[in-house]
Structure 1
Amino acid sequence: MKLYDKKGRLLLACTLFLGGISAVLSAFISILLQRIIDAAVNSDMAAFSSLFFTTLIYLGVLGAMGFLEAYCGKLIIRSITRSLRDHIFSGVMSRTPGCFSSRNTADYLSALVNDVKLVEENHLIPFLLCAQMGVLFLTTLGILLYLSPLVTAVLFLFLVLMFTVPALLGKKMQRRQDACSEKLADFTARAKDFLNGYEVIRAYSMRPYILKKFTRINQDTAEKKLHADTLLAVNESFSDVLSAVSILVIVFVSSYLLMKGQITAGTLLALIQLSGTFVTPVVMLMQNIPKITGIRPVLEHLEEFSLTYQEAAEEEDLPAPAGLKKGITCSNVTFGYTPEQPVLKDISFTVTPGMKCALLGESGGGKTTLIRLLTGYYTDFEGDICYDGVSVKDLSPDRLNRLAAVIHQNIFLFDTDICENICLGSTFSKDRLDHAVKASGIWQFLPSLDNGLHTRTGEDGRNLSGGQRQRIAVARALIRSTPVIILDEGTSAIDRETAHEIEAGLLAQKELTVITITHHMDESLLDCYDKVYCLKDGRLSIA
């Protein structure tokens, strides 16, 4: 998956450059130590004093470089994680309805939260660290060769051993990281399901049962995480042991060379200090390379979600449609979720502009499926559905949404105020907003609210009644001058009086095309409809 755009690559290059300078400066501390000790041993006060001030300047530069490198690292992590979430969310929201509903919404939440966190912890941070450690290792290697080729050769023997373990654990780490990501997604899905079912859990005294299920799922998730972390622990412990052994060996070898008079006391201290800066990068590389390679399945998983974003064109800023000119035609439409079991069979009807049409049918008769076809939810059907002569298969989702609005039985409201739930991010004139508020009947209950249109609706509209939520859904369509409104059992969840008032208000608007799909018709409004159809067993007939 492509993590870095042009700006990100520039920031990455800057971070790596600063990290490289910091690493080089860290390695050259050993040379300073060598000269300070040799000056002290030789009682060279002039050199000692000069080195003291040089060291102060050196440490100031080292601190500044370290800060800049760390700050740039934080910037790039922020940039990448933000970009990842943007791409994933945009990709998910660009999916077709059928593709979107094929996955649990918790999978998307897990990708946005858990998987992005995994990428940060097991790819971005380790990658930046490995780059810096690589420069530190090469710089230290050069200084070691300059000071003592023998000590360098001894360290190389341990280097070979240190890289053996990551090579052996790499594939296993990938599999365990992938399994951990899947388990985290499953945990998020189950937790979300339990929280959404709070009312049922409480009403049916399910708390002990749900607690047991949650405890088991939580335990399974923790075990998968531990399973992946165990390999990291093995890798880290092995590298720590080799690190300690290699430093001890260098101490003995360097001390032997000092006793033989082949190196100075300052060189001894420099070699001991360099053995740490030589081994530390190797240990860090050994511990982090498996993390970087192991995160690959997670990146592929995120690429799947963000792929739609890369392929989808930007939504057109289209003007609101002037109205329905020719009407809606449904010609010989046959559709089934599986080819051998059609839900709709040879459906044909016409709805002219301004027409009020009702489709009656029992549950399971195909009403909801027909709505999904009318609104472009599925396009793999036989026959054709056209708006003003243009097939829904050729209409963009944005254009189709501006032609037809569906008012469902269950209305979703965002946790914001009423006004924003009507406008939904678009800007409308005050006159247009006032018209939608009046035509939908919202004005009737505004005086009872503390902040009028700016009253918060609460999570999923829990601060409002069913009728109030329904009127907001009507206002959403009216403010956009949507020429076609489809009522999908749109008033069945509220009291009869309110339902009658909302439906009658829509039917009274002459230029508005209304398609009501219901299993129970309000007899008092029957004469307001131009045509009434009956949908039974997937077939349509005039009632």
Structure 2
Amino acid sequence: MPHHQKKQCYAILKIDLISLFYKSTAIDRVKEVIKNNILQLIPSITPYINRFIKGFICMIIYVACWPILAFLAGKLIPAIGSGELSTVTNIIINSLVVFLIQKTAQYGQDVYIAKPSLEISEVMRQSLFSKIHKIKMNIINNISAGDITYRLTEDADRVSEVIYKTFQDTLPCLLQLLAVIIYMFYLDWSLTISTFILAPIIVLSVNNFGKRVLIASEKSQESTSDLASLIGESINGISTIRSFAAENWITGRFNTKLRSNKQAKYKTLKLLAIQHPIVGFIEAFGILAILGLGALRINLGLLNSEEFSSFFAAILMLIDPISHISTNFNEYKQAEASLKRLKKINMQPMEKDEQNLEKITRINGKIEFNHVSFEYKKDNEVLQDITLKISKGQVIAFVGSSGAGKSTMMSLILKFINPKLGDIYIDDKNIRSISSIDIRSNIALVQQQPFLFSGRIIDVIKMGRDFSEDDVIKSAKIANAHEFILKLPSKYETNINERGSNFSGGQIQRLAIARAILGNPSILLLDEATSALDSDSEAEVQKGLNQAMNNRTVIIVAHRLSTTQGADKIVVFDKGKIVDSGKHIDLFNKDGIYKELCEKQLIKVT
């Protein structure tokens, strides 16, 4: 090619590339996807920058081999046509050497980039998992477990794959396109420009499909999340389903959601299926048109057969990266939908303590509510102007109808939620000035249906805390659990299955009590701790509770008033207010809510 034509070629190449990068709708969309989804993860790359640099060097070597191979192909095709065997042999050997270098560089690129890419996604998932455990309790309780599980598995996997493919596939493909296009301009700038007349059609087609794939993917992922939520509900409520003989009902609901999920996914797959033949037809039409233009330019003497062979080989080298970028772009759109769902977790308000909080190691157990009000929803107060003093070592029972505010009182003590008005004091210190961790380290909660993690009994009782085996055994003895544990084949090494399915309700409750009192908490909160048990199990658990309650401030929330009669003081709630308080006999002898509750449960003065 004459020198003046090469200079003109480079000028047009510069203008064309700038125009393509800044004006192309599809490239703008790719930049937007990268800006919104990928670049925010750049800080996570810093620890692995050396590996990325090595990977990028390998990538440059890999990409640089493509124009060389196109050049050798241009030499090879005419040599084959003329029957020059020695020339063909030399070119093949040289090509094999270049291929060997290229594939070695590709291996280095993938190896150096794969591990940090996967570790970045791992850090992202760890961050999201940690975030979930810091979201405010009243918010996290309104998000289904199935939905969260789907986001941390399927959605996170999809984003992880895009992170990896960005460095391992998309970026090399973009660089390959750039290198090959520059070589094409070097060979014949006018034929190259003619070739790229079809590019906007392909770009617009890919961009249009990308938008539609994004919308379809969001609907598909929401549908899958709904399906996961229903599966989680059905597993957790399987005993309820069977007790109501509702297997057909839940199966019908599952089949309905399954059909919706199938339809949503089918719509996405159909869009992807339509795209491939359309883009493929455009590519085939372009190749045939280029062959015709090449033949014309050779006939006019503007291009020789060797240059055109190289040019056509270069075009063939564009097809694979364009196909990869097209596929990856659709995956980017699906990952964009996933990342939006993951971002919703990060947007949730976190449970935060105030700054410069006082550190405490031990709580005595005195609690005071001073004109406390609370609401979950605006203008719908759950607690209204609560004033209550609880002395150290006192046993207090909260009673009242469902929704009266009893459990909310416990949540306030644990700092799961904060008062709208008023103050709460522990040992004469406002809990707003005390760290949540310090408060909860001194308070134990035993619920009606405690949740036990799977694993060895000793680990389940410890729950990540630094206590010795002797400490665990001591707490198990207090909880009246030690004897039945010793009867197990592996004793404290026995594994608890998911949801404690290999233990009875009474055993689970006693293990929960042992877990709660490990570390000798000052305050014990009992939320309907025995109401779900049969009489025999209740007696065993109650014995453990009685031992656990010694020398502690105890607050009991109970609907079954038979468990509250020995309390030092019973506090009666109604519609968010304290309407009465006193000992069982005193309250029973009044004509009030407490007496009505006792009569409904056939409880008399003892």
Q: TM-score, normalised by structure 2?
A: 0.80
Contact 2:363–2:427 (Cα < 8 Å) also in 1: no
Q: Does 1:530 align with 2:568?
A: yes
User: Unpaired segments of 5 or more residues in structure 1?
Assistant: none
Alignment pair present for 1:94 and 2:165: no
- For residues 308-323 of structure 1, the aligned pairs below 5 Å read 321-323=361-363
Tell me if 1:329 matches 2:368. yes
The alignment partner of 2:432 has SS state of: coil
Q: For 1:122-149, what per-residue CA distance to the aligned partner results, in whole angstroms no more than 9, with x for missing partners?
A: 5652564332221111111122222233
**Structure 1 112/123 Cα, relative in aligned 2: closer, same or farther at 3 Å?**
same
Is 1:103 matched up with 2:103? no
Q: Alpha-carbon deviation of 1:346?
A: 2.5
Cα pair distance change 1:195/1:15, threshold 3 Å? farther
- CA-to-partner distance for each residue in 1:340-378, whole Å, 9 max, x for gaps? 443323322222222222233333332212212222122
Partners of 1:236 and 1:71 in 2: CA distance? 30
Q: Answer yes or no: is 1:281 the counterpart of 2:318.
A: no
Question: CA contact under 8 A between 1:21 and 1:65: conserved in structure 2?
Answer: yes
Task: Tell me if 1:397 matches 2:413.
Answer: no
Letter in structure 1 aligned against 2:480: G
Alignment of 1:413-424 (within 5 A): 413-424=452-463
Structure 2 residues not aligned, in runs of 5+: 1-36, 583-606
The answer to which of 257-266 and 412-421 deviates more is 257-266
2:394 pairs with 1:362: no
Shift in CA distance, 137/311, structure 1 to aligned 2, threshold 3 Å = farther
Q: Note the aligned Cα RMSD (angstroms).
A: 3.0
2:476 aligns with 437
Higher RCO structure, 1 or 2 (CA under 8 Å, sep 6+): 1
Who is 1:22 aligned against?
62
- Looking at structure 2, the residues matched to 415 and 518 of structure 1 have their Cα atoms a distance apart, in angstroms, of 28
Could you tell me which residue of structure 2 aligns to residue 539 of structure 1?
A: 577
Paired residues of 1:159 and 1:282 also in contact (CA < 8 A): no
- Secondary structure at the aligned position of 2:433 is classed as coil
Change (3 A) 1:423 1:311: closer
Q: 1:302 aligns with which of 339, 342, 354?
A: 342
Aligned equivalent of 1:502 = 544
Asked if structure 1 preserves the Cα contact closer than 8 Å seen for 2:109 and 2:168, the reply is no
Cα drift, residue 193 of structure 1: 1.5
Return the letter of the residue paired with 1:235.
Q
Give the aligned partner of residue 41 of structure 2: 3
Partner of 2:597: none
Q: 1:467 to 1:330 in 2, by over 3 A?
A: same
Secondary structure at the aligned position of 2:496 is classed as coil
Which 10-residue stretch deviates more, 54-63 or 252-261? 252-261
Shift of 1:542: 1.8
Structure 1 contact 320–480 (Cα < 8 Å) conserved: no
Cross-structure match for 1:488: 527
The CA distance in 2 between the partners of 1:101 and 1:454, in whole Å, is 32
Secondary structure of the 1:28 match is helix
Q: Offset of 1:116 from its aligned partner?
A: 1.5
Give 1:89-488 correspondences, 5 Å limit: 89-121=129-161, 124-125=164-165, 128-258=168-298, 263-293=303-333, 295-306=335-346, 321-324=361-364, 327-488=366-527
Task: Work out the CA distance in 2 between the residues paired with 1:72 and 1:118.
Answer: 21
How far 1:498 sits from its partner (Å)? Answer: 1.6
Q: Structure 1 residues 411 and 311 mapped into 2: Cα distance closer, same or farther (>3 Å)?
A: closer
Letter in 1 for 2:432: K
Question: Structure 1 residue 46: deviation in Å?
Answer: 6.4
Distance of aligned partners of 1:192 and 1:311 in 2 relative to their CA distance in 1, 3 Å threshold: closer
Cα distance in 1 for residues equivalent to 2:433 and 2:54: 47
Q: Deviations over 1:204-252 (max 9, x none)?
A: 3322332222122111112222223333333332211111112222233
- 2:480–2:541 Cα contact (<8 Å) kept: no
Structure 1 letter corresponding to 2:288? L
Supply the distance in 2 between the matched residues of 1:91 and 1:305 (Cα, whole angstroms): 8
Aligned residue in 2 for 1:519: 559
Distance 1:52 1:286, change over 3 A: closer
Distance 1:76 1:249, change over 3 A: farther
SS at match of 2:398: strand
Are the aligned partners of 1:328 and 1:388 in contact in 2 as well (CA < 8 Å)?
yes
**Contact 2:121-2:160 within 8 A present in 1 as well:** yes
CA deviations over 1:260-300 (Å, ceiling 9, x no partner): 66555443432322121134333433443354356434323
Match of residue 14 from structure 2? none
Structure 1 residues 201 and 530: alpha-carbon distance in aligned structure 2, compared to 1, 3 A threshold: closer
Aligned positions, number: 536
Using the alignment, how far apart are the partners of 1:338 and 1:46 within structure 2?
86
| Paired residue type of 1:504 | N
**1:482 corresponds to which letter in structure 2?**
P
Do the aligned partners of residues 440 and 357 (structure 1) sit closer, same or farther apart at CA in structure 2, a change above 3 Å counting? same
CA distance in 2 between counterparts of 1:380 and 1:530 reads 26
Amino acid at match of 1:501: K
Q: Quote the Cα distance in structure 2 between the aligned partners of 1:473 and 1:89.
A: 24
Q: In the alignment, is the contact (CA less than 8 A) between 2:363 and 2:426 conserved in 1?
A: no
CA separation of 1:68/1:99 partners in 2, compared to 1, >3 Å: closer, same or farther? same
Letter paired with 2:542: H
**C-alpha distance 304-360 of structure 1, shift in aligned 2 (>3 A):** same
Q: Does 1:35 align with 2:35?
A: no
The 8 Å contact of residues 366 and 537 in structure 1, kept in 2 or not, is answered as yes
Determine what percentage of the aligned residue pairs are the same residue.
Answer: 20
State whether residues 155 and 335 of structure 2, in contact with CA within 8 Å, keep that contact through their aligned partners in structure 1. no
